Amino acid sequence: MQILQTPIEYLKGVGPAKADLLKKELRIFTYRDLLNLFPFRYVDRSRFYKINEISSTETEVQIIGKITKLEEVGAARTKRLTAHFVDETGSVELVWFKGVKWLKNSLKLNQPYVLFAKPSMFNNRYNFAHPDIELLEEFKASPLQGLQPVYPSTEKLNGRNINARTLAKLTQTLLPQLKGALPEIYPPEFLKENGLAPREASYFEVHFPKNVERLEKARYRLKFDEFFMLQLDMIRQKKIHQIKQRGFAFSALGENFNNFYNNELPFELTGAQKKVLKEIRKDIMHGLHMNRLVQGDVGSGKTIVALMCMLMAIDNGFQACLMAPTEILATQHYNGLKELVENLPVEIALLTGSTKAAARRELHAKLEDGSLNILIGTHALIEDKVKYKNLGMAVIDEQHRFGVAQRAQLWKKNTLPPHILIMTATPIPRTLAMSVYGNLDISVIDELPPGRKPITTVHRYDSNRLKVFGFMKDEIAKGRQVYVVYPLIEESKQMDYKDLQDGYESIVRAFPKSDYQVSIVHGKMKAADKEWEMQRFAKGETQIMVATTVIEVGVNVPNASVMVIESAERFGLSQLHQLRGRVGRGAEQSFCILMTSHKLSSDAKTRIKTMVRTNDGFEISEVDMKLRGPGDLMGTRQSGILNLNIADLMKDGAILEQARNAAITLLEKDPQLRQPEHYGILQHFNSQVKRKMQWGRIS
């Protein structure tokens, strides 16, 4: 058995009871797990203070002194242990609320101790709660001086006296046993090209660094290793997919595509749209299977690109489908695309949960005989009874709203899987694009159509509501329309947020029916009722749309120029950005008004300020990732993609990029990693895969 696989209970100082706690609390089962529990910060233990030099409660201090008195105070749950700690300049009180009996028996009176902790102030006097404390002679014999590691612990572990100091001592016991057990995985020239420190030395330095410079080199090396193995896995999977997974060759740009491009296109394509179409065309010409993500801000023209790709499929004798996450969005796509292709010999149909049985039967028959060219719908498209004659292109809109299994169903609709084009209006931070979506080809539409004016975003408090109503009336008088969006449908007793019904009633009072028409849409309405209200608003029959976030994606009313978001502090940045994108679709200046209470958390203030400052979706996504973390942002909290021990997607983008470039270069030279000098990389990579670090399969 390799020493790294040794169960943790066999390490001196652990034993069965501590091992059970380490397994439950920190997922430490083996020596390898403890080795990969990295310090989350370091403290400088090189300086000693005198008691009379303590001047702040902001930073930890280290003092040499003696305990002259120990005393138990209180009873039962309020019991605590206090100690009188002195040096030649003064005295302070130490207090422990847990482990009282064990500490009272362990601590010795009138022996020199080293105390390390952050002071607090009580009764105009400094004291220390639960300080790190050890005998001076033990401190001098320990390497835990200078830069000292601080390890993550838990409340339960601290209660059992397994604190950061204990974990440091266990790691100190472990490391000497691992000499020679961490062989180098890279050849010398690879280390030199990438400026990497040796592997074994990096592990030792990251736990017990000699100085800051060596610590930084060690951390860089170990972060590079994590990212490099992640990228190696994803890029290899992508290459294997490209080699093994054949796709349909769309060799011709035929009559439908050319006719649409030359005669039906309602506006000139932007440079970004043309670039993305070229990238897609290159994918599908030669029979390789396309798996491409197109990301672009709200209103950047992704749907036109998707339609032109579907026309390429039709011109080569294939069918196409577009799957959307909601009926409203599917219906919107259907109406918009039907209008665009009305002068082409292209048949297009809509399939959702609301489609009547007779219409379904007719649709199924046309789909199977090939007379239906484009099918648009919700997850109803992947039902077993939906059979295509020849599905060649599948477009998935806002794919993160579908489960992996749902998306995989599209692959089974033909002998060869259709080309997959994924669209998202949720901008993806660069580091996530290289990791979460690293096995997809990525295209970016980073240009808005000409004539679009940037949306003006402002923040207003609830106390300014009458002025906001006045502004809405001014815009309506100009012939414009207004969205008002609420976060809740029903009143919440826990949260003081305006609910939709109350909001609707206050809007109707401020905008009487004699002068204004108001629509209401929310998720609990029947699909037909929602569609009727949406159509009234789209036709301009109502001036105000009161809604929940059901209108977050897909609703396109160019005449709507104002988006009022109530309780904006309750929405995430991505949602606020999506909602703002519902306006600004016409030539007129549009506005987004973020309404909040005066009570705002620090994160809420950051979100509001970011929205007011910028319309750039990619900048917003970076802020969003810093606030929420990459796992919450992409819904990957439970997946292997975030199984990183030391690297950080939010902070280490430059290291990730270097590791990705190194992985690409290596696989270009040696795709199978069969050259002798790459044996160490292959062996380490295989051990990672066996431990289920298979990041590349989640997209």
pLDDT at 175: 94
pLDDT, residue 586, reads: 77
pLDDT for 633: 44
Q: Please, which residues bridge with residue 125 across strands? A: 122
Phi–psi pair at 112, nearest 5 degrees = -70, 125
Residues 69-89: what's their mean pLDDT? 89
Give the mean model confidence (pLDDT) for residues 146-169.
Answer: 85
Beta strands, E only, 58-122: 61-73, 80-87, 90-96, 112-117, 120-122
Asked if 247 contacts 289 with a C-beta cutoff of 8 angstroms, the reply is yes
Give 577-589 pLDDT, tens digit per residue: 888 988 887 778 9
What DSSP string runs through 410-427?
Answer: GGGGSSSPPEEEEEESS-
Give 17-68 pLDDT, tens digit per residue. 999 999 999 999 999 999 999 998 888 887 899 999 988 888 888 999 999 9
Task: Give ∠ CA 629-635-638 in degrees, rounded to 5.
Answer: 90
Concatenated DSSP letters of 266-284? SSPPPHHHHHHHHHHHHHH
Cα angle, residue 690 at apex, residues 684 and 696 outer, rounded to 5°: 90
Residue 498, both tokens: 């305006």
Q: What is the pLDDT of residues 344-397, one digit of tens each?
A: 999 999 998 888 889 889 998 999 998 999 999 988 887 878 888 889 999 988
Pairing relationship of beta strands 80-87 and 120-122 according to DSSP bridges: unpaired
pTM above 0.75, yes or no: no
φ, ψ of residue 571 in degrees (nearest 5)? -95, 150
Cα 489 from Cα 533, distance rounded (Å): 17
Tell me, what's the pLDDT at 698? 32
Predicted confidence at residue 399, as pLDDT, reads 59
pLDDT tens digit sequence for 396-455: 887 555 444 555 566 566 667 888 898 887 777 766 766 666 667 888 888 877 777 889
Neighbours of 252 (CB within 10 A): 13
Lookup: tokens for 602? 């620090």
Predicted confidence (pLDDT) per residue in 479-525, tens digit: 999 999 988 655 454 444 457 788 888 899 999 988 999 998 887 78
Which tokens go with 636?
């990957």
- Residues 6+ positions from 243 with CB-CB distance below 8 Å: none
In the sheet where 90-96 sits, what is the strand order? 120-122, 125-129, 90-96, 80-87, 61-73, 112-117, 132-135
Q: Residue type at 594?
A: L
Q: How far is CA 106 from CA 133, 344, 598, in A?
A: 11, 87, 52
How large is the C-alpha radius of gyration of the chain? 31
Q: Work out the end-to-end distance of the chain between its first and last CA atoms, rounded to an integer number of angstroms.
A: 35
Task: For residue 565, give the 3-state DSSP assignment.
Answer: strand
The Cα–Cα gap between 474 and 599 comes to 29
Q: How many CA atoms lie within 13 A of 695 on its CB side?
A: 27
